[in-house]
Structure 1
């Protein structure tokens, strides 16, 4: 299972739950940021086969409980390559 981070500008209520939405997430293993179509849930128990999603606010504050994310479609990298 992968672990991702998602940065929220204002409130958790900005995030759509239990339906497909497009978000930008950072893969914690590769530090690569990707735009994805995904289903999010604040209750990982609802999506036991999903990956782990940590929510952070703009100033770096980390939500105390992990969320769940199931990526439906990868829409591409936002991480710039310098090769």
Structure 2
């Protein structure tokens, strides 16, 4: 399955993930949300935002982004905040 066929991930974000070396939905699931995000952020788009992070997680869970649990969103927000500490 192509990444863009997953929920929440369009062609633009599929291209970013591909450029970071993640070529399929299965690879994205294996790599996981945080590592996929880090790969894109370090190799392709240093401005990748928290909404992209949420989108990856929701795609892996196969749910609309708005259905992420508050607990998981809080975990992802903390992960994102930690990236921005200099």
TM beyond 0.5: no
TM-score, normalised via structure 2 length:
0.30
TM-score, normalised via structure 1 length:
0.30
Point out the structure with the larger helix share. 2
Structure with more contact order per residue of length (Cα contacts < 8 Å, sep ≥ 6): 1
